[in-house]
Structure 1
Amino acid sequence: MAQDRRIVKTKAAIREAFFSIMKENSSAKITVTEIANRANIDRKTFYLHYDSPEALMDEFYKGLIHDFLLILEKSDFFDRSFDVLALFQSLNVLVQRDIELYRHIANMPSYAFFWEEIKNIIKSVAIETMSDGVDMPKDELELYAEFYVAGIIASYLIWLRNEVSLTEAKVVNILSTATFYGFQKLLPQK
């Protein structure tokens, strides 16, 4: 069922206003009044579409998670063994839509739950793809997956926050190598 174009346009204006304020503002708290003023609507119009700024953010996150899963599916990520390169390429397709916004989200502790959700999705995919190929109790596999995926996401966030001056390709290469070889790659060869 198609939504009324006015509703679609108003919601788009609200989202655009919210995210433009978010990019400018280092505070985690954005008010309905700020959003309404920026979107050139009244507060009650905002409340016709969203209960709160948090509800708007929740809709955004759910949409991102959905988009991320579609990107992973499109790259056949679910049809092969855990591929860090494909994972990063998928994350980058998502993030490149508005890198400035994602860099901002990466720097805001109040949005950590978004990255936690991404981590949990990737972890469940890793467990699912690896469970048939390894002879290991589920609890052990869970711990391995948590270790690797948490490290991958933490490293990705370091790159997003511009805490390292490496190219995206270099970060992907390092993390792919680290995931496959662990510290063995760093140790002197005998």
Structure 2
Amino acid sequence: MGESRNTVSKTKKSAQTQARIISSYLSLMQEKHFEKITVKEVVDKANITRGTFYLYFNDIYEMQQYIEDELLAHFNSFCLDVQEPSCALQCNLTDWGFSLNPPAALMRWFEYCKQHGEAIKALLGSYGDPYFVIKLRNQMRVFVNQLMDKDNMPHDQLREYYLETFVELNFLLARQWLNESSESSLTIERMTTILNTIRVGANTLSYFERKQNK
């Protein structure tokens, strides 16, 4: 029993050390490009030895890849693999009685950013990895397409333009939100409401264009 507790304690300490190493690295990324950060800078900031660093990562690039893989995997499980009920926006457009309340799924992007605030802020910043941003943006396109499918928005040219606009707005708002102090930043609900204005506008325009073309 004592040995089991000891193992848990060591595992917890190990996870805390790894988290401290990653946090120190992300903090340095606020000041310089990730490819120019050295192991020495990381261990000095984390207040550990080089030997301790190498217990977790072979080099900076492996650590960067680990962080990115974890973030992308969590985006998949947290945003893409969750089944949300359809809000059926189209059903109510005929009498202008649709609700402006955003679907719960729309909040997930900001909840995800909040959970990984330090990492997302660094990786989406000026010194982050542009290839990671491309990968995350591609996953965001899948996420937004899922929302549009639930709204029954047709796969036409209008949808493609709104898709790109919506994806870019997600990233733009996330960057601004994460760079604000907690006292001045909007709530997740308010941020989602801003995004939802684009969603409502897209569906409204799409509905009336289809009605005119009948």
TM surpasses 0.5:
yes
Alpha-carbon distance between aligned partners in 1 of 2:122 and 2:105, rounded to the nearest angstrom: 21
Mean Cα deviation higher: 153-162 or 127-136: 127-136
Aligned to 2:194: 174
Contact 1:123 1:149 in 2 (8 A): yes
Contact 1:105 1:111 in 2 (8 A): yes
TM-score (structure 1 length as normaliser): 0.67
Query: What is the identity percentage for the equivalent residue pairs of Structure 1 and Structure 2?
Result: 16
Q: How does 1:92-107 map to 2 (within 5 A)?
A: 92-97=110-115, 99-107=117-125
Distance in 2, matches of 1:109 and 1:88, equals 28
Matches within 5 A, 1:6-155: 9-10=13-14, 12-23=16-27, 26-28=31-33, 29-37=36-44, 38=46, 40-43=48-51, 46-47=53-54, 49-72=56-79, 75-77=82-84, 80=86, 85-97=103-115, 99-128=117-146, 130=148, 133-136=152-155, 141-155=159-173
Structure 1 unaligned spans of 5+: 186-190
Which SS does the other structure have where 2:180 is aligned? coil
Deviates more, 1:26-35 or 1:85-94: 85-94
Residue-pair matches, total: 177
Contact 1:16 1:39 (8 Å CA) reproduced: no
Which amino acid is 2:49 matched to? I
Aligned CA RMSD, in angstroms, stands at 3.9
Deviation at 1:122, TM superposition (A): 2.1
Higher relative contact order (CA 8 A, sep 6+): 2
* CA–CA separation in structure 2 for the residues paired with 1:90 and 1:171: 11
Q: Summarize the Cα distance change of 1:122–1:80 in structure 2 as closer, same or farther, 3 Å threshold.
A: farther
Q: Provide the rounded CA distance (Å) in 2 between the counterparts of 1:11 and 1:91.
A: 26
Structure 2: gaps of 5 or more residues: 1-6, 90-101, 206-214
Identify if the C-alpha distance between structure 1 residues 33 and 8 changes in structure 2 by more than 3 Å, giving closer, same or farther.
farther
